[in-house]
Amino acid sequence: MTLLFPRALVDTKDPRLSLGAQAEPGFAGADVAVLIPCRNEAASIARVVRDFRRALPDATVYVYDNNSTDDTIPRALSAGAVVRQEKLQGKGHVVRRMFADIDADIYVLVDGDDTYDAAAAPRMVELLMDRQLDMVSAARNGAEPDTYRRGHRLGNAVLTALVRWAFGAGISDMLSGYRALSRRFVKSFPALSAGFETETELTVHALALHMPLMETQATYRARGAGSASKLNTVRDGVRILRAIVALIQQERPLQVFSLAALLLCALGIGLGVPVVLTFLDTGLVPRLPTALLSTGLVLLAFLSLACGLILDAVSRGRKELKRLIYLSLTPPDYAR
């Protein structure tokens, strides 16, 4: 995923939080798993695995291959990764499989295209532990001016703004594929999406349940030679937008149906006022079809409002259940 809208929420002038610093990590007591979903990344996967093994020497690096047709698997194995396969095509399917299969205290999720800086991982994990967080997301900070396509940059800005409007602030680069996650987050995450919408789902899951989270910056670089992006700006942008709309409808049904009710009511009243004024003036209803349409629109408005109230109660119950499942898991109180 290569869309960008970065804004750091961590004071990067603080030397303790400098993601490029090679400080001694303070999480020796935690079981860390690096999760790398990939497809046809033979040109970069070995370097990614080696970099993360160097950055997190006590972590286990897992590569989940998604039907690659090149040498991704043998190169990942030769670099020292644990390689597994997911046959269902799509990043969302791979993330769901990884989260289900792997049991750890901390999970570092990163793409296999060598665009994210592995040196950021120790500080992300340390922030997660020190501040008892459930997610640390890395907003992408491009060191090269041509790292991002304009369509990706604009798309990320628009989609992130929509999520911030609907679910609240906290994440400025919603589509970042580089995150550190707690076990409590991973094991309570429903993972229903199939493709690149999974980053949106991760973000909304954290924001909707008001989980403790933080965003920081990490260097983002262009793909190396021989590596091609799987993201289509228009097609995947539409899919992500559709996922956001569906999540808003699921998590905020009263607002959605209230807005529909307001529009229907306004249209109905707008059509009905001239009919009513004519009736008051002449005692006749010369435009019966318009009167019926106006009445129908107002009735639909009240029906939409009633649906919103009912679905809001259902959504609240689902949210309470997800929250209870989240609270039933071990909190991020890591051993030192």
Sign of CA dihedral 323, 326, 329, 332: negative
Distances (CA, A) of 150 to 4, 146, 255: 9, 9, 32
151-169: per-residue pLDDT in tens?
A: 667 777 888 888 888 888 7
Which of 117, 133, 143, 7 has its CA nearest to residue 52? Answer: 117
The pLDDT value given to residue 16: 35
The pLDDT value given to residue 5: 35
- CA–CA distance, 170 with 215 (Å, rounded to integer): 7
- CA–CA distance, 58 with 55 (Å, rounded to integer): 9
- CA–CA distance, 298 with 303 (Å, rounded to integer): 9
CATH number of 15-250: 3.90.550.10
HSE-up (13 A, CA, CB side) for residue 208: 28
Residue 303 pLDDT > 80: yes
The pLDDT value given to residue 22: 41
> Highest-confidence range of 66-75, 159-168, 281-290, by mean pLDDT?
66-75
The pLDDT value given to residue 142: 67
The pLDDT value given to residue 152: 67
- β-pair type (135-142, 60-65): unpaired
The pLDDT value given to residue 19: 41
> 14 pLDDT band (50/70/90 cuts)?
very low
Tokens for 73, please give them. 């698997």
Rounded to 5 degrees, φ, ψ at 98 are -60, -45
Q: What is the mean pLDDT of the chain?
A: 84
The pLDDT value given to residue 334: 58
Q: How many CB atoms lie within 10 A of CB 292?
A: 13
Helix-helix angle 198-208:91-101, to 10 degrees: 50
- CA–CA distance, 43 with 85 (Å, rounded to integer): 18
The pLDDT value given to residue 151: 61
Domain segments of the chain as ranges: 15-250, 252-328
91-119: per-residue pLDDT in tens?
A: 999 999 999 999 999 999 999 999 999 99
Cβ(231)–Cβ(152) below 8 Å: yes
Residue with the larger pLDDT of the pair 150 and 96 = 96
3-state helix vs strand vs coil in the chain, percent to 5: 50, 10, 35
